[in-house]
């Protein structure tokens, strides 16, 4: 049963909303979580129906696991976790073959040079600028490293990202991977919380006397609200605020757009497929100026699955057309496994984060010049009666479940 007169409304039951609700409950504040969709977890979503095996449509790694607030929670619940970095068999392909030992060494050197250049430029005292301007160029592996660190990891090209924000939100290992999926973990962490599903908030009135959320579910009033919907939803006007948000908040939302990462997961049972080890990570070198390779992870937990990852502009171009994403991922697989190998791939599941009006993308990046936007978005409004939370609000672990979780906890502390 839901509280009839909640103290705090939490809008959205993703990681930030769940963390906020747990935090409020621990402090004895009554709250009601209004979730627009039919499930909890938001961009942490694991399902088994499509492939017959757990598949994380969104988050699959607990990055920077030693500092990640979800790591101890998962441990305490006895969740099976593996350190992906210690298992990952990295395979680099170039010109239709595996890279040689020397090429892999040169690639690693280019990666180190990339991060040294980014870190030096981010602290050189000059104004913020696109991260691409600081990235080394012209070397044999530079375009491949830039494509990997930008589109494939951050879901946006380095030219679209603030150098300072990119440098300060870069993540290290350990990267833990969960048998039950990150969505499975987060769903368990939401158990017992007062979450009302299928309750999309269309309008939020806020002022000195409190807040009122309105939607097809009716109206609910409270003393304060924590809004955790994505910046993609906010920028598209998914919630009408009355009175309108101040310019600093609106500018921060627009300066933190969502990038896009699309996964195409294939059943891979056919013995004609190459015998890849579990957790192998397959990357292909950028072959020419307009090449935007996908990458793959094979057989997570030994399961007969191959997952293709496509980030940035290429993912946006395929958005809304899963048949195209399926075909392009198969064509990419052919460049690595050969045509016969790729033809042996089974049915595919394509993630649909861009077209879902409850998300409108994958995760946020700051545009050039907007290195302070995350702090601006997280600043409480109306004497603490309206607070934004979510991955986009965290200055260090932005774009991740860790950032979302920590920002939800921080919002619960800030609430009036
Ligand atoms: C493909 C992909 C791969 C990723 N990989 C990783 C990874 O490996 N590791 C990692 O740490 N992170 C990863 N992430 C990012 C991570 O999933 C997110 O940063 C995090 O889950 C965001 O949580 P949140 O609570 O901020 O937002 P959300 O999860 O978006 O939660 C917001 C909630 O609000 C709801 N909502 C929206 N509009 C309304 C409305 N009007 N009224 C009510 N409810 C509404 C939504 O349904 C949603 O449940 C990935 C994301 C994607 C998409």
Written as tens digits, the pLDDT of the chain (416 aa) is 788 789 999 999 999 999 999 999 999 999 999 999 999 999 999 999 999 999 999 999 999 999 999 999 999 999 999 999 888 889 999 998 999 999 999 999 999 999 999 999 999 999 999 999 999 999 999 999 999 999 999 999 999 999 999 999 988 889 999 999 999 999 999 999 999 999 999 999 999 899 999 999 999 999 999 999 999 999 999 999 999 999 999 999 999 999 999 999 999 998 888 888 899 999 999 999 999 999 999 999 999 999 999 999 999 999 999 999 999 999 999 998 889 888 999 999 999 999 999 999 999 999 999 999 999 999 999 999 999 999 999 999 999 999 999 999 999 999 86
**From the CA of 305, how far away is ligand 1's center (Å)?**
24
pLDDT digits (tens, 9 = 90+) for 283-321: 999 999 999 999 999 999 999 999 999 999 999 999 999
**From the CA of 43, how far away is ligand 1's center (Å)?**
3
| Ligand 1 contact, 311 CB (< 6 A) | no
- Rounded to 5 degrees, φ, ψ at 156 are -155, 150
**From the CA of 211, how far away is ligand 1's center (Å)?**
24
CATH number at residue 228: 3.50.50.60
**Total number of domains in the chain:** 2
360: in domain: no
Q: What is the pLDDT of residue 272?
A: 80
Does residue 20 sit in the same domain as residue 136? Answer: no
Ligand 1 atom at minimum distance from 351 CA: 1
Does residue 154 sit in the same domain as residue 278? Answer: yes
What is the best residue among 19, 35, 36, 59 to mutate for testing ligand 1's pocket, by most ligand atoms within 8 Å of CB?
59
Q: Residue 153's domain spans which residues? A: 82-176+261-350
Ligand 1 atom at minimum distance from 399 CA: 19
> Which helix H or strand E contains 203, and what residues bound it?
strand 203-207
Does residue 171 sit in the same domain as residue 91? Answer: yes
| Ligand 1 contact, 227 CB (< 6 A) | no
**From the CA of 14, how far away is ligand 1's center (Å)?**
6
Q: What is the pLDDT of residue 157?
A: 98
Q: What is the pLDDT of residue 87?
A: 83
Q: What is the pLDDT of residue 19?
A: 98
Write the DSSP string, 112-167. Answer: HHHHHHHHHHHTSSSPP-BGGGTS--SSTTHHHHHHIIIIIIISS-GGGSBHHHHH
Does residue 271 sit in the same domain as residue 282? Answer: yes
Does residue 106 sit in the same domain as residue 21? Answer: no
| Ligand 1 contact, 265 CB (< 6 A) | no
How many C-alpha atoms does 377 have within 13 Å on its Cβ side? 33
246: in domain: yes
- Rounded to 5 degrees, φ, ψ at 166 are -60, -45
Give nearest CA residue, ligand 1 atom 14. 59
375: in domain: yes
Does residue 166 sit in the same domain as residue 277? Answer: yes
Q: What is the pLDDT of residue 45?
A: 98
240: in domain: yes
**Rounded to whole angstroms, how far apart are CA atoms 211 and 224?**
6
CATH number at residue 332: 3.90.660.10
CA distances from 79 to 71, 178, 275, 294, 349 (A): 9, 7, 28, 30, 25
283: in domain: yes
pLDDT digits (tens, 9 = 90+) for 221-233: 999 999 999 999 9
């Amino acid at each position: 049963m839901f509280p009839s007169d909640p103290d705090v409304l939490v809008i959205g039951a993703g990681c930030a909303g769940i963390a906020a609700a747990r935090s409020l409950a621990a402090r004895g504040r009554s709250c009601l979580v209004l979730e627009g969709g039919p499930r909890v977890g938001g961009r942490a979503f694991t399902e088994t129906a499509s492939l017959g095996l757990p598949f994380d449509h969104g988050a699959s790694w607990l990055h920077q696991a030693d500092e990640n607030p979800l790591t101890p929670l998962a441990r305490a619940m006895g969740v099976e976790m593996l350190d992906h970095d210690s298992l990952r068999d990295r395979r680099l392909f170039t010109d239709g073959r595996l890279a040689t030992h020397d090429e892999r060494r040169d690639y690693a050197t280019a990666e180190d040079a990339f991060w040294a250049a980014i870190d030096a430029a981010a602290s050189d005292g000059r104004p913020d600028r696109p991260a691409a301007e600081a990235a080394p160029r012209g070397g044999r592996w530079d375009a491949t490293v830039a494509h990997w660190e930008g589109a494939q990891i951050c879901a946006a090209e380095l030219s679209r990202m603030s150098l300072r924000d990119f440098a300060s939100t870069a993540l290290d290992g350990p990267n833990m991977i969960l048998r039950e999926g990150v969505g499975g973990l987060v769903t368990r962490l939401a158990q017992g919380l007062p979450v009302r599903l299928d309750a999309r908030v269309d309008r939020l009135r806020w002022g000195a006397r409190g807040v009122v959320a309105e939607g097809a579910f009716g109206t609910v009033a409270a003393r304060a609200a924590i809004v955790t919907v994505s910046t993609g939803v906010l920028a598209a006007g998914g919630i009408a605020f009355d009175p309108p948000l101040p310019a600093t908040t609106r500018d921060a939302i627009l300066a933190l757009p969502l990038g896009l990462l699309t996964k195409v997961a294939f059943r891979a049972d056919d013995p004609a497929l190459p015998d890849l080890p579990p957790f192998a990570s397959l990357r292909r070198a950028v072959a020419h100026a307009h090449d935007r390779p996908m990458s793959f992870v094979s057989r997570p937990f030994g399961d007969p699955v191959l997952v293709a990852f496509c980030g940035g502009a290429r993912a946006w171009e395929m958005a809304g057309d899963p048949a195209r994403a399926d075909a392009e991922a198969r064509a990419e697989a052919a460049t690595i496994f050969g045509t016969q190998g790729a033809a042996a791939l089974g049915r595919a599941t394509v993630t649909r984060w861009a077209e879902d009006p409850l998300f409108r993308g994958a995760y946020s990046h700051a545009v050039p010049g907007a290195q302070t936007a995350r702090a601006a978005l997280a600043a409480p409004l109306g004497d603490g009666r309206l607070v934004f939370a979510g991955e986009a609000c965290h200055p260090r672990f932005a774009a991740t479940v860790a950032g979302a979780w920590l920002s939800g906890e921080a919002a619960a502390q800030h609430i009036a």
